[in-house]
Amino acid sequence: MISETIHLLDDEAGMRKALSRLLHAEGYDVRAFASPQEFLSTCNASEIGCLLLDVAMPGLDGIELQRRLVRAGARFPIIFLTGHGDIPMTVRAVQAGAVDFLTKPVDETHLLRAVKRALEIAAEQKEERDETARAAARFSRLTPREREVMECVVAGKPNKLIAVDLGTCEQTVKVHRGRVMEKMGAESLADLIRFADRLNIGKKAASSASVN
């Protein structure tokens, strides 16, 4: 289950207090920070449901913090708060993955709607990561030959051609293919392709096929 902890980063004490009170009243766990340095030194990315981030702060501003988090691979949903945002700034933030860009004083209805959407996105992202991890764990159980067969299958090659490419017989390929389907938990070719796509196997196989 995705964490519904909301990390609030704003250098204005009054804003932190008001937003924390509002979000607590809605049943959310809120952790408030007065500076990016405090946030970076104490936060755990796996505990963050979403981040409410003030744009204008002394030193490291919200946009630059977003860039650093993206570069570090911490991809949780961010809702920006600003007292003087402009359109180019909003565009850059959204292009970098921000869920919303709200202007202070923040409308409570808009804020709660944005938080709900951010947590929905966080849940979707977690499910994506979990499914990729499950696919990777299953793939790790394949033998080297089964991996070769899987790459050929998701590249769209028929069993006869796979047998020629791998220097074996078609019946052996069928056996390996069945084991691949079983180990990967794939009930259909579409399932196998989807798993392969998560692991970038399909792209590698397609690239190899185009070279050959």
> For 101-118, how does the pLDDT look when each residue is reduced to its tens digit (9 = 90+)?
888 888 999 999 999 999
At residue 90, the pLDDT reads: 67
**pLDDT score recorded for residue 190:** 94
Predicted pLDDT at 1: 43
Average pLDDT value for the chain: 86
The size of the chain, in residues, is 212
Q: What is the pLDDT of residue 104?
A: 85
Task: Give yes or no for a cis peptide into 36 (omega within 30° of 0).
Answer: no
**For residues 125-137, average pLDDT:** 91
Strand partners, 7: 31, 51
Whether domain 141-211 has CATH 3.90.1300.10: the reply is no
Q: Are residues 118 and 81 in contact, defined by beta-carbon separation less than 8 angstroms? A: no
| 102: Cα separation from own chain's centroid | 23
The whole-number pLDDT of residue 67 equals 84
* Dihedral of the alpha carbons of 58, 63, 69, 73, in degrees to the nearest 10: -170
CA distance 118 to 151: 36
CA quadruple 30, 31, 35, 36: dihedral positive or negative? negative
Distances (CA, A) of 204 to 110, 128, 158, 160: 44, 20, 18, 21
CATH 3.10.20.600 for domain 5-134, yes or no, is no
Domain residue ranges in the chain: 5-134, 141-211
Q: Which amino acid is at 37?
A: Q
- Lookup: tokens for 122: 């966080």
CA 44 vs CA 47, 112, 129, 136: distances in Å: 5, 23, 17, 24
Q: Is 80 helix (H, G, I), strand (E, B) or coil?
A: strand
